Amino acid sequence: MSDAPPATPTPTSPGPVSTSPWQAARVTEIRVETARAKTFRLALTRPAPHRAGQHFVVRLTAPDGYRAMRSYSVASPPDDSGEIELTVERLDDGEVSGFLHDVVEPGDELEVRGPIGGFFVWEGDRPAVLVGGGSGLVPLMAMLRFARATDRADLVRLAVSVRSPGDLLYADELIGPGVTIAYTREAAPGSARPPGRLSADDLAPLLLPDATAYVCGSAGFADAASRLLVGLDVPVDHIRVERFGPSAPVGS
């Protein structure tokens, strides 16, 4: 995800609170996802089981004591490995994402705290419709991977809006009848869907009875996607939203 805080909660969402201590996490693997996004696999010193949809804070400390902190959603599904994966989109003015992309190598240690968040989580036991814009796909990917790992893929449907095939995270995993990709500017070769914004026609085939919808992306995307869902008669109290806010430090 981006250097922005993970999201501005909806009015019914409690704010992000973490009582977990800071800990060291060793970078075990770095994968390039797109030209502007990398996934960092971290081995936690003190394993902290997470739920699909939660995030961690990464804290960098300079030799002069200056600190910068940003929150990043967990892309990996809940498991007992003691490791997590954070997908980080590089921003042109992002001091944390720039450091992670340009400096960090496997074997390095990062300081992290988490998991954080209790509202935007999927426990794996109820139908879910996942709607992501750009890097808003990251926490939804944790949910989709969790569903597949626990043989509950029948409970989950996913729609993702992205500018072009080159911007699509986790492209090799986004296949199957329960996945819809809406390219807004440049469609994939052979795509039957022309470029354009996510529409009600894209979402309608994905709706499951009594499902909870999870929407994640920029404020504009989240608001537009939420309106589409309401227009398709999804109850407002069945829609959970995370909106990216402006880049800013998170609390220590």
Q: Domain of 40: which CATH number? A: 2.40.30.10
- Indicate the burial class of 32 (C-beta count within 10 angstroms; 0-12, 13-18, 19 or more): exposed
Do residues 149 and 73 both lie within one domain?
no
The answer on 132 and 100 residing in a single domain is no
100 is in which domain, residue-wise? 8-116
Q: Are both 157 and 200 inside the same structural domain? A: yes
Please indicate, yes or no, whether residues 173 and 222 belong to a single structural domain of this protein: yes
My answer on whether 204 and 102 are in the same domain is no
Q: How many Cα atoms within 13 Å fall on the side-chain side of residue 102?
A: 9
CATH code, 133: 3.40.50.80
Domain boundary among 84, 116, 148: 116
Give domain status of residue 1, yes or no: no
pLDDT (tens, 9 = 90+) of the chain, 252 residues, equals 545 444 333 333 334 445 689 999 999 999 999 999 999 999 999 999 999 999 999 999 999 999 999 999 999 999 999 999 999 999 988 999 999 999 999 999 999 999 999 999 999 999 999 999 999 999 999 999 999 999 999 999 999 999 999 999 999 999 888 999 999 999 999 888 999 999 999 999 999 999 999 999 999 999 999 999 999 999 999 999 999 855 444 443
| Residue range 133-146, pLDDT digits in tens | 999 999 999 999 99
How many other CB atoms are found less than 10 A from the CB of residue 120?
A: 26
Q: Are residues 89 and 63 in the same domain?
A: yes
For residue 251, is it within any domain?
Answer: no
How many domains does the structure of the chain reveal?
Answer: 2
Do 148 and 213 lie in one domain? The reply is yes
- Distance of alpha carbon 29 from alpha carbon 97, whole angstroms: 16
Class of residue 85 by CB neighbours under 10 A (exposed 0-12, middle 13-18, buried 19+): buried
- Picking from 81, 116, 151, the residue at the C-terminal end of a domain is 116
